[in-house]
Structure 1
Amino acid sequence: MRVRFTLLLTLALLPWLFLTALETLATIDRNRDSQGQLADVVAANAVGEVGRTLEAGRLGLEAAPQLIADMGCEEGAAEVLGRLGVYQAMIIKDDSDVPVCQSPASLPSLEMINPDPFRAQDSFRIERGRLGETDVVVLQKLFPSSGRTYTLVLPEKLGLKDVLDVTLREGARATLTKPSGQAIVGTNTFPTPNEGAMDRVSDTEVSLLNYTNDLGEDRRVAVQFFRYLDLYVTVSRDLRHERKVAFMNPYTSILLPIFAWLVGFGLIWIGTQTMLLTPIAKIRRTSRQFASGKLGSRVDLSNSAAAEVQGLAYSLNSMASQLEERDSRIADNMDEKDTLMREIHHRVKNNLQIIISLLNMQERKAETEEAIATISETRARINAIAIVHRGLYESQDLRGVDLEPFVSRLVSTLSESLATEEAGISLTQSVESCILNADNAIPVALFIVEAISNAAKHGAKRGGAIEVIITRPSDASLQIDVRDNGCGVGDPTAMRGIGTRLMRGFARQLSGTLDYLDNAPGLTARLTMPLIDNEAQPFQVSRKGR
């Protein structure tokens, strides 16, 4: 989603960026021209200022003898410096080159660097010097009548520090050059007069020229020849820096929309994350928790989420609350149903116990062995059904019966009912753990009752054994063996008693098969049935003879 928003924002800004680029190119040209014109004016003013400063110094030297004569040496020198302003020192020497006086009183020694001699026709000169460790410009006036030399010291920056460093900036410098080409201040960045270029320089106004020096630098030069000073004053600047400055401001016109695009992208990124992506992630996480069964999960969104997403979260929470309430009602109904079903199975079991008690009463009144045996068999069958119902209401799941405790209880009850211990018959069981469908539990129980009854009656004798073995040959089948070690039978297929018929009926009801195996000695009745849901076949017992 963020990528799509970014692409849309980029496409939306493309026309603006294109038009801004065209406007920037035009602005660069205009800006370069205006910057150049401004720099030319500043440089020309600087050249004129230097000329006026030097001329003021020359005039100050002319007036110095009279002021000193009137005010005294030190006070007169200080007065001259005070009127000139930018000059930093004044020194007066006699013929012996010994300072007569100076201002300020404490000065380092002044050293002249390669000075030209005074000309006979003009006793004024401007030279380069060093005052202590500082390079300076030296203005000197020789008065032959007194033999004294009056000297003014001017800083090398010529009072142009702010103009050069602040206004014209990088690469700008001022130069004082003699007609011979010797530089007094700075280095010569302009051809000497001998090269012919100075022919274009005026002595009445500042000339503006372009010049490429020996280092390959394109420079713009403001120059004027001051005839009364016999000096070229030059202020030059680097055009490359000027072009950089010309490009600087227009570039902001391009950078501004790019910056705006970046800010917009950041805001979209944060906005989509805060208003959409994070809330949607919370909704998705809560939905997964709800789907996994955590019905108490709810979406908790902050106020920063979009209103539409908050509406979606509200709908999801409302749906979750309704489902949780419905699930609670269903769970309550299921609990109530389970309770009722357990009560029903319990009452059925109690009613069967009442029937068993009635049969016991009837058995005590029976007079023949055949009647007693019939009642005993009936009681065992009813007891088996009662045990099934007991197992159902005692189990956690009403849909099935755990075979292991169920068969153990059934075998124990049959042992008492058939009096196998008094008859000297051992009755045991070996059951593999399995949950049997409730619909199949009763026919299985009745099958076991009939098989054990038949074995106790016709197979096992005193000292014999009857064993119930339940195994699972596969995950989809169950095998029930009731085995005895009695005398066996000659032909199992010829068995036609009611017990056999009942067992075959139970096998059909369970969608299984009944087989008799001769295990010499003894006989095994084997029921093999599937462990899948099958439609119960109708239980039918033939009414023909035993």
Structure 2
Amino acid sequence: MNVTAFRTVRGRLLALMVLVILPIAVITAVSAVATYRSVLSSIEASQLQTVGNFAVRTRVWYRESLRVVLAATASVAATDGTADQCQTITRRIVDDGIGISAISISTGGRPACVASRSDGVSASDIRAVVEAYRARARSVTWIGNDLADTSYGVTRIGGRRFMVIYARRGDIPDSPTLESLLLVDAVIMDRAFDLGTVNPGVTVGIVRSSTEVVVARGMNEDDTSWLPVVGRTGPQLQRWESVSQSGATGTYGTQLVAEPDLYVLARFDQQAERAAFLQFIALLLTPLVTLMVLFAVYSLAIDANIVRWIRGIEAAAVARASQKPQLAPVEPSMPEDMRRVSEAFNALVTDQAERVEKLNLTIGANRHLVRELHHRVKNSLQVVQSYISLARRQQSPEHRTVLAPVEAKVHVLSIAYRHALALGEMRPVELKPFLDEVSVMLNGLMRAGRPWISTIAPEDVGLVVDRAIPLGLLVVEIASHALEDGHADHVSVEVTQGEEGTLTLSVTADDRRLDAVETKIALGLLRQIGATRTADASGTSAGRWTIPL
């Protein structure tokens, strides 16, 4: 990032802070995400290991039970005894075997020897189970060599659940076919299923097709509310999320124990996942919030220690152009270099204020002198005009005709300066009262008796005195030239508003004096006021000119 793209000190310092914070924030976020994924992987592996441990324990129990029934069958086959002897052996196995509820052994073509610990399990019930498992699919071997064609499962007889181990051996040449069945009370399986204390929030059990609970840890066997609404089957170890029959969301893990429908199923209440997520949020937000607080503190520190003083100096600089200048702040808490800048600025302001004060005094004195000078000029013009007027009255009529234009021209100068100094200092001359007074003066001075010259000018339009005087002198020159042969009936000088920033000058006279504006003096005065001819003389019009304001 190019910090020079920011136009202010604050912007550049904050941009530099962002350059420092942004990589740290990215690294923090990546680390938090990696840690969260690692924890989730550990949780998943732990849950799958829990399911696998219970599945291995169940398979070991079935394997050992299979060895018991195979050993008993081999013993009966080895004795080659009578049916009574076979029955005695099976009875002894049931009576001495802890947890063995019933057994059925058949060797060769002999009838099966059946024995049961409980009267609730009859010989016919046992034979029915043998017939059912004889047609079932065989369970695969988990480890080692096949000891026999086996099938494992669960059956219910008289309201009680029994674990079933069925085995059949008939693949050895010149040996009889051996078929045996072992029924073990599910209570024994429940004891064998115990791997210690189950963690809170974990329910593990042996189920049939995710619908019937055989043995459970963390929940009563008769309670099926923890089973998933959508179950999964298959030989592989699986893990998924689902909603239980009670409506709670949980994580499930399952592994096949025995074909076709006997599984180990575990439910985890996702407390570990939620704790991992909260840990992830803490790992992510704590550094980010810290960086944000650091950024805010850094921004406030910039405002308090730099920007505040810069704005104070800026306000003092802006106030220099106003009528109330102020000094830049200078405080002990300011940074040393910024205090030196403020002190230098204040020294500059103080020096400038002194110079301005001296300059104002000088300007005031000069203005007074100029005003006094103009007053002297005005008074001198009035004196000259008075002397010419006295001299004209003492001369003969032919000399009076010569002196009248001279007196009129001096009178124009006096009128212009009087209007310009009406408020005590020089200002533009308003055209209408100025030309009106000039026309009244000419009507009384050069040809008394009737108004023979008139002027028209717009309201609220003024010219500086250096341009108003030539315009007045032009009116006198036009009037003087028009009276040379003594036959002028009427002369009109009209000034109107033209296009933006211009005036229009129109002169009207009788047809015998249309050349009244063609004298050298008149043309010189027109050039002096910047007039440009826009219409030639025709009829009673002596012409039209445009004058810039």
Q: State TM-score, norm by structure 1.
A: 0.49
Q: State TM-score, norm by structure 2.
A: 0.49
